Amino acid sequence: MAIAAAALSGCGGGGEEETSPPSAQQAREAQAQADAELEQRNEQVRAEHRERRAAEAPSSEEAQATQAAAEAYQGIGALSKLRYLNGGFDVRAGLRRAEGSKALHRLCEFMSAEAQAQTIEYAEASSGIPGDWSCEKANALLVRRANVASGGRAPGRVKVLGVNADGDRATATIQVGGQPITTVPLVEEDGEWKLAATGAPE
């Protein structure tokens, strides 16, 4: 036992110097360094977060196209509430009245020249009514048909879920009320984003 105790005591005393605890000054310096490293890491994380948000944020073109799409479809929703665009009226008389409609005129302002021409062509061909068609008249006919098809129900709130812009072309993803999500083409014309003709070349 004495030999074992001597051996054990010998293992612990092999000339190692005891380290003294750090002084208060050293402890403060170590803590300050640790705090600085932590703040540096936190700032790096914040910077990476800002970069991700900037990359995900819509461009100015996409923001403008989003606003144009929202206003255009809100205008269409407002048109559905006009009595003379609902069922039970003489079509020709309703079309004549459409010429002076500020709401229809505003909707046409949100449409590109190509989209207006396409709408007029479709309305004239589908109605079988020859004559001097205008964008306002064409939209009046199409809105009336949509109102009749829906039973006079308002289309509901328009949500623009996102817009992807590429040059002077953009595609808006929208949802009207509880209807299925759909995409709408837009084009930049004279510095403003407008609804593009369906099937317009990309």
Range with the largest mean pLDDT of 71-80, 96-105, 119-128? 119-128
Is the model's pLDDT at 38 over the cut of 60?
A: yes
Q: How confident is the model at residue 188 (pLDDT cuts 50, 70, 90)?
A: very high
Which region holds residue 33: left if phi is over 0, alpha if psi is between -120 and 50, else beta?
alpha
pTM here?
0.61
Reported confidence tier of residue 115, pLDDT bands at 50, 70, 90: very high
pLDDT in tens, 60-100: 778 888 888 888 877 777 676 666 566 555 666 667 777 77
Residue 152 is predicted with a pLDDT of 60
Mean pLDDT of the chain: 75
What is the pLDDT at residue 60? Answer: 79
pLDDT at res. 37 = 80
Please, which pLDDT band fits residue 119 given cuts at 50, 70 and 90?
A: very high
- Domain boundaries defined on the chain: 60-195
